[in-house]
Every structure is written in C-alpha cells, then in structure tokens.
Chains A and B, each alone.
Chain A
Amino acid sequence: MKTNTQQLQDFSTQVRRDILRMVHAVNSGHPGGSLGCTEFLVTLYQELMDRKEGFDMNGIGEDLFFLSNGHISPVFYSVLARSGYFPVSELATFRKLNTRLQGHPTTHEGLPGVRVASGSLGQGLSVSIGAAQAKKLNNCNHLIYALLGDGELQEGQNWEAIMYASAKKVDNLIATIDLNGKQIDGTTDEVLNMGSVRAKFEAFGWDVLEITAGNDIEAIIAGMTDAKSRTGKGKPVCVLLHTEMGHGVDFMMHTHAWHGKAPNDAQLETALAQNYTETQSDY
C-alpha cells in the first residue's frame, strides 16, 4: 500500500513512541540510533521496498532488508510489527525472558522479518552481498537493502565487503550508512576520525549519493528513488544518510548520551508528549 507523506509521518511518530516505551519498559536498549533511523526504516518498509505478504526466509520475488547495526533493534521491531510481520502487542516483550524480540535481532527465535542475526558489528554488509548474489543466481530482479551505522565502518570486515562488492559488480545492492556522527564513546571524529566516508566509498568503486536531510521523509523518498535508479549499472550503490541521533526528542538530540540509555519515567513522559499523533495506537 502506497501512502502519502503525512501518513508516513504519523507512522514514524507511532514508531518513535514504540521505541521510547520499549526501552523504558526494560530500562535498556538503544533509543538514540533507533530514533535517528525511524523515518528511513518507515519509508523503506512502507513506501520503497517491494515486499510480499507474509515471510519466508529465502525471500525470492521481493526486496530484502538487512540491518547490520543490530543495536537499533527497537526501530526495526516496531517497523516490522507495524508492517504486519508479527503482532504489535509482541513489542511489549522486547528484551524480556523468552521473547522473540531479543536485545539484538536474531533468527534464532523465529521472529518473522529477520533473516540474520546482527549485533556484533560489521557483518551485515557481507551477508547482504551474499543475498544479492543469490538473487542474481535465482534470476530474481529484486533489490537488497542494507543499513549500517557510521561508527560500525570502523570494523575491518566492512572494507573487505566494500572492496568485494565493487570488484564483483554487485549492483543489486543499496547500502545505506546512518551518518549520525556519533558512537558510544563520543563523536566518530573523536573516537576514530574516518575522514570522508564518501571519498572512501568512491575510491572503492561505489556509486555514492547523499541524503542530507535524513530525517525528512520527502528527502528520503527522493534520495532512495534516485538510489534505486542507479542499481543494475555495474556498481553497488551507497547512500550516505545524514541523520540526527535521538531525532524527535529534544533532549536526546545533539549528543551521543542516548546511544544506549533508556529514559526514566519523567523523561519518557516528556519524550512521548513531543511525539503525539491523533492516529496513535500504542501497543
């Protein structure tokens, strides 16, 4: 179902509420990056990806998404649930004993929508490349989408994968980098300055484009539509998505402090008040 921008905005607000309530309920989890990627994942699942009804692991005949920075599981789970992969009520089990919604995403408990475990960083791009190669072998013209954190690029396996994807012309792959400039110990520049991520990807032979307003739904649609148009041309496509960690909650923005910290009761109330929508229906 194609939706208009306002609907996607409301959807995002609902997802933001889910994220905040999920991490608050268990006093753990990663709200910062989750909030920063909310518009992107909502737009991806609700507008951009060609998805089949239901879930099967092989995913032949549909676009597939892989989350490499698995710690932003709250946004992933909320978007999956609200896109119909499992009951929204199950979000209440996040990080609790016997849940399918483990702290980091996994296939181990059979949660529909998840195709590989992630959390130990740096592995998702390689898996995405493998899935993209399988699509080519199966003569399936659908795309593979991957999301990686920017801090995650410090993991060496990514650069093996980045080198491979261009050398082997894996051009049915769009890898998006959540360029929020922050990681656990501070800004990415402070922790390990990576210089120009764009120049690095280009030097490795990727077709790179940027979405400078990474929390703006129309900008995401325009940028990702452009990215889709660049697939199938012999190069893997990289989208540098400039986002704001903690987006939508004023006291969580412009800091890395909320990378892996849950709000307390008062903070939750404040945050939810900033994310009110008339169409909301909390789990």
Chain B
Amino acid sequence: MMRNWKLHWHKIILKHKATTRIMKKYENTGSKDTRSGFGAGMTELGQKNENVVALCADLIGSLKFDDFKKNHPERFFQIGIAEANMIGIAAGLTIGGKIPFTGTFANFSTGRVYDQIRQSVAYSDKNVKICASHAGLTLGEDGATHQILEDIGLMKMLPGMTVINTCDYNQTKAATLALADHHGPTYLRFGRPVVPNFMPADEPFVIGKAILLNEGSDVTIIATGHLVWEALIAAEALEAKGISAEVINIHTIKPLDEEAILKSVGKTGCVVTAEEHNILGGLGESVARTLSLNNPTPQEFVAVQDSFGESGTPEQLMEKYKLNNQAIVEAVERVIKRK
C-alpha cells in the first residue's frame, strides 16, 4: 500500500516538475491540531517503548494524553498544577532509565520553570522531553498571559537543549516518536488550533535536518511551526507575481541545519524567516547569526515585533500581528529590493 502511495507521489512530483513546481506535493489532507499529533505519537510510544513515561500538570485533555493515561496508568503521572515539581520529577525519573515526556502549555513549560529546566534538566543532561502545547498567538482568546512568544529563545539559549517547533499533525506525531530515540533534553513546541495537515505521514523526521518543501531561485523563505503552511501559500502567490520562492521547513531550531540554509541562500541571495514568536530570540535570529558568520545576506523577519499578544481568534491575531501568508509575501517583496 505504502509503496504504491509513494509512487503516486512521485508521479505528482514529476508532473509538477514540468512547471518547476513541486509544492503541490504538500496538500492539506484534512485539517487537524498539532497537539493531536503529539497525543497520537504518545499513544504509539506507549505501546512501543515501555520506558516512556508521561507527566502532566492538570491538562490531560488539552495535551491529548487521554489514551496514554488509559492504556498505561502506571506510567502516567498526574502532577497537579505544579509545573516546577513536574520538571523535577521528570529529571528524577530519568535516573532509573525512564524517558519522561512532560506536557503542559508552552508558557508553563518554559518561562514558569526556567530555573528548574536549567539546573535539573539541561545542566544535569537529563533525558527529559518538555512537550509544550498552546504555543504562540494561536492559543487565541485566553490572551497574553498564556500566549508565550519567548519560549524558543528561552529554550535555545540553554546549552545542550534541542528545540523543535512542528508545523502540522503529521510532523508533530513524527517528532514525538523521534524524541524517544534521541538522548538529551529536548523542547517540543506545538499548538492548539486546527491547521492544515500537509506533511506526508511517512516523511522521515530527522532531528536537526531541514526539509526543502519548494524549490525556487529568487528568495528563500525559512519557516517554522504554523507559519510553514503560510509560507507555502505565500510561495504560490509569489509565483503568480513571477517570483520563484524556495521554502524550507525548519522544524529543528536548535541544532539549526545551517548547511541547508546556506545552500539555499547561496542560490537565492535573500531570505525571509517566518515564525509565531517574538522577533527577538527566535528562528529569525538564529538564521541571521548563521548568515552573518558565513554569508551576510539581506533578511526580513515575519515575527511578533517585541510585544505581548492579546485576546482574539487565532486568525484575527495572526492577521493583526502580521504572521500570515500576506505578511510573508510583503516581506519577500521588501527583501528582494534589498538584494
């Protein structure tokens, strides 16, 4: 079955190569929330790896832990509303060979427990997987208290911490599975809203390896998380304007796939980064650092302009804070003029 399906893809790719477009490979196969991808990954890990344990701070439903809890009650730890204790217990569980996955909202997974992560997890090199839902503005109506836009920066600054921000259901599930086979402290960031599910279910997830979604020659769009789909739409709009955009899905912000970035930018000569995060400390800054050291290149940032969020629907917020495909198109038009 799978093999035939893959052949089917190849036919589509070949068909679109004729018009220099391969991005039709990435079509929405049915919108889902990324957190459900995490839940599905945990369900599968529960069956596959008896060392995997899950910890939650009173958000079982939000994190989609229901199946894991039901199937493996002895390996599920309801910590209560006590995130600092959760991080510490997770660190302790690694001593004895367990692979703990902690789950709560991104704000409570990072900022609230920074020192616990820093000392008990990162500095102690504990194999803890900090899994964070409801990241960014798309948490929506709850507002700025819950919409953390600084978490990528906080986590990437910790030595030895791997930082992953997935773009859809399939990629979040694949990343969750990959974490169990990866040793070391990791931050996995995903979200609340239902968004297009477009990555092939069998796309390999290699931590630290960027995925080239669309080949282009005029500009490189480097996107992470919910902005990846927006980048694909932007590339389509740009093509209609005669601009050939290369789109790279950076799911791993640290370690950053510098080789893939430099290779693409070497070809296109300008770059737009797109992320649901503060402009300070996010993917854009990591890319800028890479470019400034290796190949100084004009860059525009699609990101939150150093502000907090606010209440609203996810769509309204992404529009107001200019985190959508139109914003990416505008950024591309600006950066191309700077070449």
Contact = CB atoms under 8 A, between A and B. Distances in A.
A binds B: yes
B121 to A, nearest CB: 9
Nearest to A108: B123
A163 interface: yes
Given A60-B96, A163-B82, A137 B88 contact: no
Contacts of A132: 92
B89 A126 contact: yes
Given A126-B84, A157-B85, A164-B79, A138 B97 contact: yes
Contact of B120 (A58, A127, A156, A167): A127
A130 B119 contact: no
B119 A117 contact: yes
A109 to B, nearest CB: 11
A260 interface: no
A135 B53 CA distance: 13
Contacts of B93: 130-131, 133-134
A134 B96 contact: yes
B120 A117 contact: yes
A262 to B, nearest CB: 24
Contacts, number: 120
B35 interface: no
A160 to B, nearest CB: 4
B92 A128 contact: yes
A94 to B, nearest CB: 19
A195 B123 CA distance: 34
Interface in A108-146: 108, 115-120, 122-135, 137-138, 140
Contacts of A123: 84, 88, 115-116, 119-120
Given A58-B95, A130-B89, A160 B84 contact: yes
Contact of B85 (A59, A107, A160): A160
Given A108-B124, A120-B115, A137-B53, A131 B95 contact: yes
B85 A116 contact: no
A130 B127 CA distance: 13
A168 B95 CA distance: 19
Interface of A: 57-60, 64, 66, 106-108, 115-120, 122-135, 137-138, 140, 156-157, 160-161, 163-164, 167-168
Given A137-B96, A163-B82, 17 more contacts: A116-B124, A117-B123, A119-B119, A123-B84, A123-B115, A123-B116, A130-B90, A130-B92, A131-B93, A133-B89, A133-B93, A134-B92, A134-B97, A137-B74, A138-B97, A161-B82, A161-B88
30 contacts: A59-B95, A66-B92, A106-B123, A107-B124, A107-B125, A108-B124, A115-B95, A116-B95, A116-B124, A117-B119, A125-B88, A126-B85, A126-B88, A127-B88, A127-B92, A127-B120, A129-B92, A130-B88, A130-B94, A131-B92, A134-B92, A134-B96, A134-B98, A157-B85, A160-B80, A161-B82, A161-B85, A163-B80, A164-B82, A164-B89
